[in-house]
Structure 1
Amino acid sequence: MSNTKQILAMLESRADGDDEQFYAIALQVAASEARSGHRSTAEQLRSAVEKARELAGKGASVAVPFASPRGDLADLIELRNPEHNLDNVMLNPMLRTRIDDVVLQQNKRHWLREHGKTPNRRVLFVGPPGSGKTMTAEALAGALRLPLFVIRLDSLITRYMGETAAKLRLAFDETARHRGVYLFDEFDALGAHRGAKNDVAEMRRVLNSFLQFMEEPNGTDSLIVGATNYPDLLDPALLRRFDLVLEFQSPSDDEIKAIIKANLRPMKYPNLAWKKIVGSAQGFSQSEIARAIEEAVKTAILSEHDKVTTDDILHRLDDRKAMRNAFGAVKINS
């Protein structure tokens, strides 16, 4: 890209309010300067971009809304402005380290490209329902100061031949145009094993298209995240396309305690019987525990109490167990 085109692109990005694209072009200029042997100028440009990003992150008291997809994409891609950060999600130390590495590679992506490398940008989350996969995708977007775009599978998958693959093409084209975190939730609906008994020719074509699109170069380095509760249903060919496969698990005892404490705010919780509470919460997902505690806090607020007791929490956890049992009974009788 010539200097004139870069200046025009930077002006257009500023007019659109797309700061990330503005910074990306500035870093492209820095990379060009570095290749020309102007290392000092390149370093000054990179430092200026990092300083601008840092100031933007600290100074924004009101969130700047991202632009929602329009036209054919309006029903296909849902924009969600990130409300969580990585400290809100309870992750085991090894998983958190790997997530932090994704953030580092994405934040330093232009440094990697100067050396002929690309950042990890295709990540698969696997684990039981409620283990924090979707929340982590949102937290990743927040950490990278990027919009979270959720691919709506109900709009993507249709019964008409060729239409699903065409819509998938639109979604991947968008990842190349607008940098963001693109989440394919319930990914097994797209990536099911091509030899499955319920396999149909159309979905085989869709999967083949997905595998092809995943291999295409992407100048924006948009992060593509697949999330599934059923990794055993996925086609093995997908493992070669994803840069990382990260496994989420049900929370440990220490994580259960941390989730409860995080969700008890602003209530006081003196002298809780933690052993009894943690034992009662065993087997629940992160989201189930959070919802149970939220209900206990709501009850305390409406009762004009400023603290939550062990019995309050146990009562709400018992409610979650009753919900599970009722749901199981419905499934058995249906």
Structure 2
Amino acid sequence: MLNSKAEGDDEQFYSIALQIAASEARQGRRTSADALRKAVDAARSRLGAPVPIQFAQPRGDLEGLIELKEPRYILKDVVLDAQLRLRLDDVVKEQAKRDWLREHGKRPARRVLFVGPPGSGKTMTAEALAGQLKLPLFVIRLEALITRFMGETAAKLRLVFDETQKRRGVYLFDEFDAVGGKRNATNDVAEMRRVLNSFLQYMEEESVTDSLIVGATNHPELLDRALIRRFDTILSFQLPSDEEVKRVLLAGMRPLKHGRLSWTKVLEAAQGLSQAELSKAAEDAVKSAILDERDTITTDQLLRRLSERRSMQEAFKNPESR
């Protein structure tokens, strides 16, 4: 314990302190156990940096395979459905008090699957989870993970899961269906079946760090059912409601002012657009106002930007119509 403090490894120091608290609790000394836990919680809350300094960019075999991103958001920065926010708060609470759960033979939720349409906030929410937990966000680069050489993808996957055991963090597998597709899919090959079987095995392994593994997919119907059962919780993201549309657009238009907006027209124009598309429409309106030396955004200007985003969306839906 003293060595970890001398070496500046605060997380290890706190982990040992909580192990002592657990031992005290098992021996019936609840008062001292509670005092130790509260002291650790207070010390952790005083840490200023959202990401511990010892988490450096992965190197060696992991360089190019795992990308470190410093979280820019916490959960309050993401516009989320109330029920979805409650479930995310449960994940955060379990992770933040994981030592308490292990004291009673339970483990925190650490395998989470995000499903929903493109632009619905899945990637941003993974980043916000990392920010909320004051952990680094590690993004798995699928273009580096998946190769055409037999056995190489599974070997790289092993490296990733070994890293989750060494460095506590949030590990994001975006476009997760590329790894977790059904084993009986018509375009399946033996190598990808082996990769999926390896993934199933690695997901079941005990974790000493309780690193959070987040899979995100736009196509949950493509995922193998056995893989879905390995996740502790599955969270569904939807296109924003009218109230959420307002919140996204108002946040995106800051710090400029806006006139008396016709929300009926704006909401009609925003139908079917994702959070990402709404944010970009608001940002485009702000940039135009800045370049035109205006400090106010009008309904017509916002409608124009929403219409442009819808046109882009339609172009991708009907590429042959151009």
Q: Give the TM bin, normalised by the shorter chain.
A: over 0.9
Structure-1 residue corresponding to 2:314: 325
Gaps of 5+ in 2: none
Question: What whole-Å deviation, never above 9, does each CA across 1:274-310 have from its counterpart, x for those lacking one?
Answer: 1100110110000000001001011111222111111
Q: Which amino acid aligns with 2:111?
A: R
Change (3 A) 1:316 1:333: closer
Structure-1 residue corresponding to 2:197: 208
User: What displacement does 1:200 show?
Assistant: 0.4
- Among candidates 2, 5, 8, match of residue 7 of structure 1: 2
Q: Aligned with 1:241: secondary structure?
A: coil
- 8 A Cα contact 1:30 1:41, kept in partner: yes
Q: CA RMSD, aligned part only?
A: 1.7
Structure-2 residue corresponding to 1:241: 230
Structure-1 residue corresponding to 2:25: 34
Structure-1 residue corresponding to 2:270: 281
> TM-score under structure 2 normalisation?
0.95
Structure-2 residue corresponding to 1:48: 39
- 8 A Cα contact 1:267 1:307, kept in partner: yes
- 8 A Cα contact 2:259 2:299, kept in partner: no
Q: Flag as ranges the 4+ runs of structure 1 deviating above 4 A.
A: 62-65
Q: Aligned with 1:78: secondary structure?
A: strand
User: What displacement does 1:91 show?
Assistant: 1.2
- 8 A Cα contact 1:9 1:25, kept in partner: no
Gaps of 5+ in 1: 1-5
Structure-2 residue corresponding to 1:3: none
User: What displacement does 1:243 show?
Assistant: 0.4
Structure-2 residue corresponding to 1:257: 246
Alignment of structure 1 residues 19-98 onto 2, 5 Å: 19-57=10-48, 66-98=55-87
Q: How many residues align?
A: 321
- 8 A Cα contact 2:285 2:302, kept in partner: yes
Give the distance between the partners of 1:307 and 1:63, measured in 2 at CA.
37
- 8 A Cα contact 2:52 2:135, kept in partner: no
Q: Which amino acid aligns with 1:49?
A: V
Q: Does 1:219 align with 2:219?
A: no
- 8 A Cα contact 2:4 2:10, kept in partner: no
User: What displacement does 1:76 show?
Assistant: 0.8
Structure-1 residue corresponding to 2:156: 167
Give the distance between the partners of 1:71 and 1:320, measured in 2 at CA.
41
Structure-1 residue corresponding to 2:170: 181
Give the distance between the partners of 1:21 and 1:92, measured in 2 at CA.
36
Give the distance between the partners of 1:326 and 1:184, measured in 2 at CA.
28
Question: What whole-Å deviation, never above 9, does each CA across 1:67-96 have from its counterpart, x for those lacking one?
Answer: 111111111100010001111211111111
Identity level (%): 63
- 8 A Cα contact 1:280 1:314, kept in partner: yes
Structure-1 residue corresponding to 2:131: 142
Q: Aligned with 2:201: secondary structure?
A: helix
Is the deviation greater in 65-74 or in 297-306?
A: 65-74
- 8 A Cα contact 2:261 2:298, kept in partner: yes
- Among candidates 314, 317, 330, match of residue 303 of structure 2: 314
User: What displacement does 1:317 show?
Assistant: 0.8
Give the distance between the partners of 2:212 and 2:23, measured in 1 at CA.
24
Give the distance between the partners of 1:75 and 1:95, measured in 2 at CA.
32
User: What displacement does 1:55 show?
Assistant: 1.6
Give the distance between the partners of 1:205 and 1:213, measured in 2 at CA.
12
Give the distance between the partners of 1:274 and 1:122, measured in 2 at CA.
39
Q: Aligned with 1:225: secondary structure?
A: strand
Structure-2 residue corresponding to 1:99: 88
